[in-house]
Amino acid sequence: MSGISNKEVAGILMEMAALLELHGENIYKIRAYQNAARNLTSLQEELALLIKEDRLEEVKGIGKGIATTIKEIYVAGYSPLLEELQRKTPAGLLELIKIPGLGPATVYQLHKEAGIKGPADLKEALKEGRLRGLKGFGPKRLERLLSGLRDYEKYRQVELLYHGLLKAEEIKSYLEEFQGLIKLETVGGLRRGRELIQEIDLLAVTASAPELRDFFLQLPFVDQVIEKKERKIRIVTEDSFPVNLIVVREEEYPTASIYYTGSRDHVSRLVRQAADYGYQLTAAGLFKEGKRIGVKDERGLYELLGLDYIIPELREDRGELEVARTGKLPVSINLSDIKGDLHLHSHYSDGSHSIREIVEEARRRGYQYIAITDHSASLQVAGGLSIDSLLRQMEEIEALQEEYPDIKIFKGSEVDIAPDGGLDYPDEILARLDLVIASIHTGFNQSEKEITGRIIKAMENPHVNIIGHPRGRLLKRREAYPVNMDEVIRAARATGTCLELNASPYRLDIDDLICRKAKEEGVMIAFNTDAHNLAELDYMVLGLMTARRGWLERRDVINALELEELSPLLKAKQ
């Protein structure tokens, strides 16, 4: 047995589905693989047990044929069919799928009807106008395709914070096997919680730098060696992540940690601050008149320079050093401050789990409360709830509340904001809910004035508590729609509406800069995971990093309130 996980098997099935679609395969076959992958991802039981007990076909969406394929993948650790499809597929077509707005079916059409083999071909064809007249490619779609190509070129050299964190932990797990390792930490943009990163930076402390270098270069994920020095190694992983490993001695660690965490501008200001105190600050240490000044850790260095400790997320040269000199830095919010998650999707719409399963997981995490906020009726693509379905869900929540008195289950909904600013449910239905998130999911092509007006009109509804992902962006996929966030923030303050920091790795919307603006205007933030399965509840840490970058404190975040503080606040809007 390979020991391959549910998630890894699901990933193989999804890749097979994409490649089958690229080759113009039957749509029902493609959907079968996609459905099986989604259901595997949401399973609580491990494949090993299901296969051992011959219960794989009991899983929704997995028939005899796909069950056989899954067993083959599980036993071998790979899929011969996937490898065959990969061999038959030009690499350029796989790259085309990464362009926003281009799915496998469209790539298949472009390849078959226009001979497009990759991004370079597409760029040339758009420039020469060769796609005009192609079925389904009118002027507006061609314009969107050109915009997607620009986004692809802009973002292909960066990666999501979440993926960077996962990759860094994987690499660290290998490095921690090195016997002479004293310390190992993630530094750079990852440590500061930047939403998009260009590389992974790791700082290692050891007395055996050459041996650690050689150990690192032999690890299985190393695909290409770019730089090979005793104390700095730069490689590219097999999945194209650039990784820098910086190796220092123990006495260099405190200053090296600050130096390589950055940002560059923050460190430059810190160097000048040190000079004002008669010190020379470098990555190798703090010196005075050529002699090393011993500091225990980062905190000790900041204190020596007359500053309160500045957390990594604030080190962006946005006034943090000036505030640190006055002792008035924010008491930054921590994960332990979060009392619940107010944006969760169940299997009533496009979530993978039952409300009971969500409640039990939330209790395991120690939450005081959660809100079930499935999509409203008009968002059919996400299984939006009719009024009857919403009422049935409310009844189920009330029954579950009696079973689980130790956690508050708010009856909620993520209600679509229509193009005219109206909401998807009538007020008499909204009034029966405990919490309403209003979000835009369609009509992104409106003007800034129109979209801003839509959001403000929604906030003026007395039943709307939170505006969900206010800018509608999808990182590396879709730019934010045009919206005047200054006007939105002012309206949020006037109406007592919260703005959401959506912690999905593809959103992180609102971002850190807007969080800080909202805080300054007295607007409260809700940072939620928007989870569609139990694993995605872990996204809360991404929201936390963004909130800390935005100078947020516990008092600025609605779901950091105790239940007895939150309940009256939600009712007050009504």
My answer on whether omega of the bond before 235 falls inside 30° of 0, hence cis, is: no
CATH number of the structural domain spanning residue 292: 3.30.210.10
Give tens-digit pLDDT for 279-304: 999 999 999 999 999 999 999 999 99
Chain centroid offset of residue 526 CA? 16
235 versus 573: which is more confidently predicted?
235
In tens, the pLDDT along 80-125 reads 888 888 888 888 888 888 887 788 888 888 988 899 988 899 999 8
Mean pLDDT of 229-256: 95
Question: In this structure, is residue 258 part of a structural domain?
Answer: no
CATH code assigned at 228: 3.30.460.10
User: pLDDT band at 44, cuts 50/70/90?
Assistant: low
In a domain? residue 253: no
pLDDT value of residue 63 = 86
For residue 3, what pLDDT is reported? 56
Q: Provide the mean pLDDT of the chain.
A: 92
Residue 1 — very low, low, confident or very high, per pLDDT cuts 50/70/90? very low
Overall number of domains in the chain: 4
Same domain as 96, residue 220: no
Statement to judge: residues 122 and 177 lie in one domain = no
Give residue 101's region: left, alpha or beta (phi > 0; psi -120 to 50): left
Is position 260 within any domain? no
CA distances from 307 to 227, 324, 478 (A): 36, 5, 40
Average pLDDT estimate for 169-174? 96
pLDDT of amino acid 95: 84
Give the pTM. Answer: 0.85
Residue 123 included in any domain = yes
| CA pair distance 77, 12, nearest whole angstrom | 10
Where is pLDDT greater, at 390 or 573?
Answer: 390
Collapsing DSSP states into helix, strand and coil, what is residue 68?
helix
Q: Which residues fall within 8 angstroms of residue 477, CB to CB, at 6 or more apart? A: 100, 151, 506
User: Do 179 and 311 fall within a single domain?
Assistant: no
318 in a structural domain: yes
- Any domain includes 15: yes
For residue 81, give the CATH number of its domain: 1.10.150.110
Read off the pLDDT band of 77 (50, 70, 90): confident
Left, alpha or beta for 67 (phi > 0: left; psi -120 to 50: alpha)?
A: alpha
CB 341 within 8 A of CB 373: no
**What is the span of the domain harbouring residue 536?**
335-573
Q: How many CA atoms lie within 13 A of 218 on its CB side?
A: 8
Q: What tens digit of pLDDT does each residue of 254-276 get?
A: 999 999 999 999 999 999 999 99
Check whether 350 has a pLDDT greater than 90.
no
Digit-coded pLDDT (tens) for 501-512: 999 999 999 999
**C-alpha–C-alpha distance, residues 138 and 143, integer Å:** 9
Q: 167 pLDDT band (50/70/90 cuts)?
A: very high
Last residue of a domain, one of 155, 189, 222: 155
List, for residues 299-347, the tens digit of each pLDDT value: 999 999 999 999 999 999 999 999 999 999 999 999 999 999 999 999 8
Could you give the CA distance from residue 5 to residue 7 in angstroms, rounded to a whole number? Answer: 5
Is the CB of residue 126 less than 8 Å from the CB of residue 102? Answer: no
- From the list 106, 79, 73, the residue with the least C-alpha distance to 1 is 73
Pair (70, 207) in one structural domain: no
With a cut of 70, say whether residue 372 has pLDDT above it.
yes
Query: What is the pLDDT, as a whole number, of residue 51?
Result: 83
* Domain identity same for 318 and 340: no
Compute CA distances 454 → 205, 438, 523, whole Å. Answer: 53, 10, 19
Name the residue with higher pLDDT: 378 or 322. 322
